[in-house]
Amino acid sequence: MQSPINAPSALFCPRSSCKYYQSLENKISKDGTYTTKSDPEPRQMFRCHGGNHRYSETGYSDLFGKHGSFKEYEQTAKLSSHSLSSDAIADILQKDQRTIEQWQRAIGKKCEQFHLFLCVTIGITILFLQMDELWSFVKNKSRQLWVFIALESQTKFWINFELGSRTTHTASRLVKGLKRLARWGKDCILKVTTDKLAAYKNALEKFMDNIHYVYLQIVKRRIMRRLVTVKKFFVKGTAEDFPDKSQNTSFIERLNLTLRQHICYLQRKTLGYCKSKVNFVNIMWINLFNYNYIQVHKSLRIQINNENKKFIKKYQHNTPAMQMKLTNSPLNWRYLLTFPIPYNY
């Protein structure tokens, strides 16, 4: 069977007290299954031959000993990407809110590790980059927190995000982060579009100096929330560098809307803004994984030639990660939580 991801993966011993911890020169074999009081679904046991002990597949994430079932972890992840706050999830699953936040932390951390692992080992190709920022609050309504996001528009792949103030500092962290994740071809030209915020220009000049890029700012002017004019300002390059349908920031604006719909902290006119930044980051990672690796994207579907045949699949549905050639099929939460990520990749 074809592996769901395009990166090599191998089992290793996840127990930090073991002599063969994370070692790849150690025989690991499957060793039966078990169930717990809270989870009737069988879990896989492994044997670490070097250290001569058994361990559970939950050892591959921070969920070891967290007293929940995989179904509950999955529900927590799904509800977190359907705009529910942790106290609402706690109410639905009949758990303590602190338990839910603990699970979110473990799941969010695994999402982050998995995303970075895949991007770094396989390398993503960025041809058309769009960046934007969304406002939110932290703790109280007088403290604004901005969420910077970067999107590869051709594959609809959400590359990364940063939380912080609306300054060059945060934009720089964003650009620096995405530069590390991508593979940069020598002769390809990177297209970048953003809004008029000067922070992007500074960040690009500082960190993309050895990469050939063209940069277009879209300046929108609104009066009483109504869009009046859209001006295009070519910071680097000319109109010819941006062929049809690329002189815009539409794709990232569509992603903004998706995020406002899916992340409770980003909803507008609500009291459900964020109480802690750490929890916000976890929810963002859960949503990034959901968006890139699980959800199929309608604009990425490919028609299969079965026009005259009834009841046969007409389209192949793709996730942004499949489009980016990182994965071969949509993934699921269980796959993520039990996936062994080598630490020194």
For the CB of residue 17, give the shortest distance to Zn ion in the complex, in Å: 8
Cβ nearer to Zn ion, comparing 20 with 70: 20
Is residue 28 near Zn ion by the rule CB under 5 A?
no
Task: Give the chain's count of helices (H) and strands (E).
Answer: 9, 11
Residues 209-228 that bind Zn ion (CB under 5 A): none
13 binds Zn ion (CB under 5 A): yes
The answer to whether the CB of 56 falls within 8 A of the CB of 30 is no
Which residue lies nearer to Zn ion by CB, 56 or 287? 56
d(CA 216, CA 196): 9
Query: How many CA atoms are closer than 13 Å to the CA of 11, on its beta-carbon side?
Result: 18
Question: Token digits for 21?
Answer: 């911890």
Give Cα separations from 90 to 94, 96, 104, 198, 277 (angstroms). Answer: 6, 6, 11, 41, 19
48-84 b/e (C-beta count within 10 Å ≥ 16 → b): beebeeebbbbbbbbbeebebbbebbbbbbebbbebb
Binding span for Zn ion by CB under 5 A among 10-18, 101-109, 170-178, 180-188? 10-18
Biggest alpha carbon–alpha carbon distance for the chain: 70
- The answer to the question of residue 84 lying near Zn ion (CB under 5 A) is no
Contact region for Zn ion (CB under 5 A) — 15-23, 222-230, 296-304, 337-345?
15-23
Q: Which class for 178: exposed (0-12), middle (13-18), buried (19 or more C-beta within 10 A)?
A: buried
Q: Which of 5, 12, 14, 18 binds Zn ion (CB under 5 A)?
A: 18
Q: Is 197 a residue that touches Zn ion (CB under 5 A)?
A: no
51 lines the binding site for Zn ion (CB under 5 A): yes
Q: What is the spatial distance between Cα 292 and Cα 206, in angstroms, rounded to a whole number?
A: 28
CB of 70 to Zn ion, least distance (A): 23
Residue 297, number of CB atoms within 10 A of its CB? 17
Q: C-beta of 18: minimal distance to Zn ion in Å?
A: 3
Distance, CA of 216 to CA of 13 (rounded, Å): 49
Is there binding between residue 237 and Zn ion (CB under 5 A)?
no
Q: Minimal distance in Å, beta carbon 342 to Zn ion?
A: 15
Name the one range near Zn ion by CB under 5 A: 51-59, 177-185, 242-250, 254-262: 51-59
Shortest distance in whole angstroms from residue 144 CB to Zn ion: 47
> Exactly one of 48, 159, 171, 190 binds Zn ion (CB under 5 A); which one?
48
Q: Which stretch binds Zn ion (CB under 5 A): 6-14, 70-78, 155-163, 270-278?
A: 6-14
Give me the residues that bind Zn ion (CB under 5 A), please. 13, 15, 18, 20, 48, 51
